[in-house]
Structure 1
Amino acid sequence: MTRTPRTTARPATTARRAVARTRTLLKGENGMGTVRKTVLPGGLRVVTETLPTVRSATFGIWAHVGSRDETPALNGATHYLEHVLFKGTERRSALEISSALDAVGGEMNAFTAKEFTCYYARVLDADLPLAIDVVCDMLTSSVIDPEEVESERGVILEEIAMTEDDAGDCVHDLFAQTMFGDSPLGRPVLGTVDTVNALTRDQVARFYRKHYDPTRLVVAAAGNVDHSKVVRQVRAAFDRAGALARTEGAEPVGPRGGARTIRTAGGVELLDRPTEQAHLVLGMPGVSRNDERRWPLAVLSTALGGGMSSRLFQEIREKRGLAYSTYAYTSGYADCGLFGVYAGCRAAQVPDVLRICRQELDQVAGSGLKDDEVRRAIGQLSGSTVLGLEDTGALMHRLGKSELCWGEQMSVDTMLAKISAVTPDDIREVAREVLAHRPSLSVVGPLTDRQAARLHEAVA
């Protein structure tokens, strides 16, 4: 088994001379927990939200790396590494990693996104020290065993095949490619069959060493947790691996800047598949996650396709019965974003569904929303925001992503105030700016040549 070279940790007395910086970010008010943050020597950030009334805790580590950090040849490396870190450390085998959490009824998983990766475990509060030890061990001491890298290659290829078989998933990958072209944001998070087959153990190991030092990691925990205890346990786990000693004195890597602007490609991409339904996404460039226009755009998206009373749901499903599922959504990245509407319908209905989507978008771009639509969308978005934070997993997700992407924590009250402050004029302005762009279209399904030609004409 190949071992990752390790640097001996400094003695505890030396490590303590470097002072950890701790402060309270949010005081527990209106049912929310107290949020605290500590920056350890070595640049590791630990953020917690304490809720003494629950009996569970979710612990996660967020890495400042996603698929947009890959070169074309390394497409899929971030996700590949996510799999490999579960396959064994210097202290635990792959079976011991999974059985440790299974033995206490815990849940452990991970996900890779365009701009970050997250590893997490949800356990009873009494088992939090175990979760911390296991997840930290995975992140700091993976051996990247060559045999495990090879065996996991087959698993990842099956995951790619599974996504390819699900046209509803496949259309979103196709839309990213349509919007962003052959850029990091346009490539699939999973990689392709060719790039995954070409990745070597040494490439995955180099990717690990480059992107997983403490300055690029954020630890987040939420639930019935004690901040000081979490910090001590995390510090002990990272010291055991010598990780903090290697970066002592370094400051954390800040949120991504907006300098690397990705130009949108646009156009029409059609993928012929022998499915029962055709799946389409129509969209255009949106706003970045730092843009204050994201608040009115979120309200606009909710009014257009965020629920059963939304325009698209009413027009496409309720009035005409053309589709079972239709919705609108936004995605914000460090330097750009997108706005899209989705529908799944029979192939023969695609032109009609597309026509209705375009009519609704054009109408809102020209005249905005009615006042009652704005009020209803604000209420729906506010309610879903609060209800979405009712479990420790969602709270951990908010803590980690906020620290990694914004470098700050926004209280729920502040988020609700931002949403409530959106006016019909704000929505009209953002609708004119976003929806006036020439749309891009992606469709996956059994399209005839004639249908394909009509779709090209409809978006031209």
Structure 2
Amino acid sequence: MAIIRHLTRTTLSLSLLSLSNGSTRSASSLLHRSPPPPQDPTLMQYDRLSNSINTKIKRLDHPDPRFLRYTSPHPTSSLDLTPILSSPRTRITTLPNGLRVATQSTQWDKTATVGVWVDAGSRFETDETNGVAHFLEHMILNGTKSRSGKALWEEVENMGGYLNAYTSREQTTYYVKVMGEEVPMALDILADMLQNSCMDEALIDQERGIILQEKEEVEMQAEEVIFDHLHATAFQYSPLGRTILGPVNNIKKITKADLQDYVSTHYAAHRMVICGVGAVRHEDIVEQVKKLFTKLSANPNTSLQWVANQPTIFTGSEVRIIDDDAPLAQFAIAFEGASYTDPDSIALMVMQTVLSSWDKTSGAGKHMGSELAQKVSINELAESMAAFSTNYSDTGLFGVYAVAKPDCLEDLSQAIMYQITKLIYRVSEVDVIRARNQLKSSMLLHLDGTTPVAEDIGRQLLKYGRRIPLTELMARIDAVDVDTVKHVANRFIFDKDMAIAAMGPIQGLQDYNWFRRRTYWLRY
């Protein structure tokens, strides 16, 4: 056996020498940049050469030590968790009817955000009623039985407040930002809006025209249109595939009965969260909510039952809208992603940060850490690009959106698919560490202000049933390593179908089979 091992080492050494024109000296010259390792006088010349080459290979497997020393992504000392541990506490109270009240008080804030988060959006509609959730949002902001639309908005403005609302595919939100002393009045306005909304037929017809105009404006925003088409092709014949505003024909025929039925079915107490952040006191908010929110529906139909009855199925497909008159082409490539509660949702967020985003007006350009951003910037392949990871109750979308000139589509597609598929096979530890740090920073920076914090609390209570502490969230992000990224990429990307939406001058964009073929690498 000793003879066989010796012959193996000798054969390896001879094969390495053959790469350098058969010269021992030329092979050694490739390695003389670094001091040779201590040599054992008992080893033969070929053995010493083999050992020196193996040492060189091992050295290349590690990052440059100078990089780790001066600009290291590795923490040199234990992370100071004092600011996170001392963050304000989120207090939650569940009332007998199932209504949840959550607050986060901060002594240094003079303002407060109070709002209502409802587990109801366009996903909880049918083909015939698609658009009702957004229409209802407009009607609720248009006055109540005791406050006309003008009186409602004047009251908010007179106390220096800011009233807003929005509807998404799975959530509807109404919130007011006011000074701390005006919180009781803000809650009174919210309760009146949600329980005593004026559904007058004349107001419905008036709002119908406003919504149709809003739809025309949205259709002029290419990014909104692309993602609507992406959802439509990815989630065909399912609620998530429908638009939030609904088709024009539905908007024209939505009635008062449709609006009232949606309220009684989905605006139930156990599907709502009332949240206050800033200059608020939890006990006061709870007492006011008990007195004000007394007319909410108690319909037992829950969002989980609705989702279970209408499951979402991801369909590998594409939609292309050719418009040669448009100056730029836009397209989005998406794989089926993770749901909110999926354990791999955090890893997908890290992967999204690894791919990153870039815009032509960005000053970073070729100096960004993302290889995809560097490739796009150096070769001027796009006007902008951005990776995204969107979560829903039972599914999600993970992919890249890009805007580019028509003659750059082929090279841009190649760069995007290479970097996405590369996550399965080869990910550097430095890239993962940088992505974790960027993700944690962006999350903390996003929670700057009472309104973002209130939105975070309301969304988490609807989706997770609890507020995830920052320490837990940071720990979950830090737990994502290279192996985790490869495992998750293998689950969601390797040889998986995708959805593609594209529009503009897109004749140069490769077909679906081209993209599908590049979801894996063949290696022999």
TM-score (norm 2): 0.77
DSSP-derived class of the 1:72 partner: coil
CA distance in 1, matches of 2:290, 2:303: 21
DSSP-derived class of the 1:73 partner: coil
Q: Which amino acid aligns with 2:320?
A: L
CA distance in 1, matches of 2:506, 2:347: 36
Indicate if the aligned counterparts of 1:87 and 1:93 stay in contact, CA closer than 8 A: yes
Partner of 2:61: none
CA distance in 1, matches of 2:417, 2:454: 38
Partner of 1:402: 460
**Is 1:332 matched with 2:382?**
no
CA distance in 2, matches of 1:257, 1:199: 21
Q: 1:255 to 1:101 in 2, by over 3 A?
A: farther
What are the superposed Cα offsets for residues 362-395 of structure 1, whole Å, 9 maximum, x if unpaired? 222233x210000000000011111111111111
Counterpart mapping for 1:158-307 below 5 A: 158-239=213-294, 243=295, 247=298, 259=308, 261-273=311-323, 274-306=325-357
Match of 2:182 among 109, 127, 133: 127
Q: 1:397 to 1:363 in 2, by over 3 A?
A: same
What are the superposed Cα offsets for residues 416-454 of structure 1, whole Å, 9 maximum, x if unpaired? 111011111000000111112132211121334xx36x4
List alignment gaps of at least 5 residues for structure 1.
Answer: 1-27
Q: Which amino acid aligns with 1:87?
A: N
Q: Which amino acid aligns with 1:172?
A: F
DSSP-derived class of the 1:123 partner: strand
DSSP-derived class of the 1:91 partner: coil
Shift in Å at residue 457 of structure 1? 4.9
Match of 1:64 among 119, 127, 132: 119
Shift in Å at residue 345 of structure 1? 1.2
Q: Which amino acid aligns with 1:279?
A: Q
Partner of 2:502: 443
CA distance in 1, matches of 2:435, 2:160: 39
**Is 1:138 matched with 2:198?**
no
Shift in Å at residue 309 of structure 1? 2.5
Bigger CA radius of gyration: 2
- Could you say which structure has the greater relative contact order, defined with CA pairs below 8 angstroms and 6 or more residues apart? 1
Q: 1:252 to 1:134 in 2, by over 3 A?
A: farther
CA distance in 2, matches of 1:325, 1:106: 36
CA distance in 2, matches of 1:275, 1:101: 43
CA distance in 2, matches of 1:42, 1:439: 43
DSSP-derived class of the 2:176 partner: strand
DSSP-derived class of the 2:240 partner: coil
Indicate if the aligned counterparts of 2:120 and 2:303 stay in contact, CA closer than 8 A: no
Partner of 2:211: 156
Q: 1:304 to 1:98 in 2, by over 3 A?
A: same
Q: Which amino acid aligns with 2:408?
A: Q
Indicate if the aligned counterparts of 2:265 and 2:301 stay in contact, CA closer than 8 A: no
Q: Which amino acid aligns with 2:145?
A: E
CA distance in 1, matches of 2:256, 2:466: 36
CA distance in 2, matches of 1:456, 1:119: 41
Q: 1:100 to 1:110 in 2, by over 3 A?
A: same
CA distance in 2, matches of 1:253, 1:275: 44
Indicate if the aligned counterparts of 1:109 and 1:121 stay in contact, CA closer than 8 A: yes
Q: Which amino acid aligns with 1:233?
A: Q
Q: Which amino acid aligns with 1:416?
A: M
Indicate if the aligned counterparts of 1:110 and 1:118 stay in contact, CA closer than 8 A: yes
CA distance in 2, matches of 1:215, 1:378: 35
Partner of 2:74: none
Counterpart mapping for 1:289-438 below 5 A: 289-306=340-357, 308-316=368-376, 318-367=377-426, 369-436=427-494, 437-438=496-497
Q: Which amino acid aligns with 2:353?
A: T
CA distance in 2, matches of 1:442, 1:115: 22
